[in-house]
Amino acid sequence: MEEQRSEGEIVLEKAESLLKKLPKTVEGIHGSDDNLLDLACLLASPVWTTYIQSVKGYDSLVNSALLAILRQEIDRFNRLLSVACSSLHSLCLAVKGQIILTDALEETYNSFLSMKMPKLWQLHSYESCKPLPSWIDDLIERVNFFRTWSRQFIATAQKRISSGTAQKFPPKKANEIQEIDSPEPNAFWLSAFFFPQGFLTALLQNHARKHGLSVDFVTFEFHVQSSTKPTKDFSNTHKHKSNIWLQAFKHPDPPEDGALLFGLYLDGACWDHINQVLQDSSVGERYYEMPEILFLPVQIDRKTAGLSGKRFYECPLYRTSRRAEMLSSTGHSTNFVIPVNLPTLLPVSHWVTRGVALLCQLDD
């Protein structure tokens, strides 16, 4: 009969497995991409400085507020990955008896046994209600999203800078994105961001810069994209994994203005894909994956143009299913993102009573 393993052996196996699974940084996966240029090196290079100085007028590479968001997100994820990998390495040594098991490592040890995210990781992590295994998968998907975005920006920069200058950049690998025409994804996975509010503000800033407007007089209109078939609805136990890469970077029709956002879920209602309005969920179904939504920046005085006679529910968008909110040191809510106006044929009070909301992620 097979001998039962000890708790220490179980924790050690999980920790060593995660060390092999987790990337060390966003832009370098286990050292395999160390020979490639990363975003920080590009932006610190003389050729980038020369390119900036040569730009006249608005340029989507230099003037995009999303570049700052990308850099900030990479820094946040690199910090989280550093903390996670460092604690995993220390935990392995402690279980083997090579270093002292501190209080922090003991908490991490117990978290692995209960399949919860360690408190040390929570201090450096984005908002999430997922158990540890689902959180790890989610983290890797987010890292891959920003890694691909970074590679796409670098590839676009290589194409726009003169051919003589571009030769100084390391070449792309065979499996890197080909025929890049944009420095950004064609559609954005809003759930991937540490700080989605900052990303949405950057979209408004881009619009204001592009059209010479004040950002204080720009807001969003929301247009749910039509679909030929209903999107899949989910129960509390759904294990759906969408292809983030295809949806973000191979989208056929990026909008001329604004951004297509995907990965949002309706909690307490579903979407009528024929009439393009909210409708009640079927019995036993709580969550529903929304189609892509176009977040279109418009001038505030023009927001109501063409919307007369329509009724909208101001649907709150949360980062997680935890409806409670806290204010961060910046004064922003850590969970609430933005109200999204969704068309409805029923009275607005119908959805308010049911507590209908949009979520960036589910709990499993």
Q: Reply yes or no on whether the pLDDT at 67 is more than 90.
A: yes
Distance CA 354, CA 332 (A): 26
Global pTM value: 0.87
Answer yes or no: are the C-beta atoms of 188 and 260 closer than 8 Å.
Answer: yes
Pairing of strands 357-359, 312-318: parallel
**Side-chain half-sphere exposure of 256, counting CA atoms within 13 A:** 1
Quick: pLDDT tens for 125-170. Answer: 999 999 999 999 999 999 999 999 999 999 888 888 854 443 344 4
How confident is the prediction for the chain on average, in pLDDT?
Answer: 84
pLDDT value, residue 30: 40
Count Cβ neighbours within 10 Å for each residue of 105-141 and write b for 16 or more, e otherwise: beebbebbeeebbbebbeeebbbbbbebebbbebbeb
CA–centroid distance for 72 within its chain: 12
Indicate if the pLDDT at residue 237 is higher than 80: no
Q: Is the pLDDT of residue 203 over 70?
A: yes
Q: What is the pLDDT of residue 254?
A: 82
- CA atoms of 363 and 117, how far apart (whole Å): 13
Q: How far apart are CA 335 and CA 46, in angstroms?
A: 40
Query: What pLDDT does residue 232 have?
Result: 53
Q: Which has more pLDDT, 328 or 132?
A: 132
- For residue range 106-128, list pLDDT tens digits in order: 999 999 999 999 999 999 999 99
Residue 305 confidence (pLDDT) above 80: no
The predicted pLDDT at position 61 comes to 85
Note the residue count of the chain. Answer: 364
- Closest of 241, 236, 261 to residue 362, by C-alpha: 236
**Cα dist. 206→125, 220, 252, 344 in Å?**
27, 13, 22, 30
pLDDT of residue 37: 75
For residues 111 and 135, is the Cβ–Cβ distance under 8 A?
A: no
Q: Which of 173, 176, 179, 187 is nearest to 156 (CA)?
A: 179
Q: Which pLDDT tens digit goes with each residue over 8-62?
A: 999 999 999 999 999 999 987 444 444 467 898 889 889 898 888 888 877 878 8
Catalogue the long-range contacts made by 13-17 (C-beta closer than 8 Å, 24 or more residues apart).
14/112, 15/88, 15/91, 15/92, 15/95, 15/112, 16/92
* CB 337, CB 359: distance < 8 Å: no
Q: What is the mean pLDDT of residues 288-296?
A: 96
Which residue in the block uniquely carries the two structure tokens 């409670």? 324
Would you state the structure tokens that stand for residue 210, as one six-digit string?
A: 């592009």
Query: Is the pLDDT reported for residue 180 higher than 60?
Result: no
For residues 48-71, one letter each, b for 16 or more C-beta atoms within 10 angstroms of the residue's C-beta and e for the rest, the string is: beebeeeeeeeeebbebbbbebbe
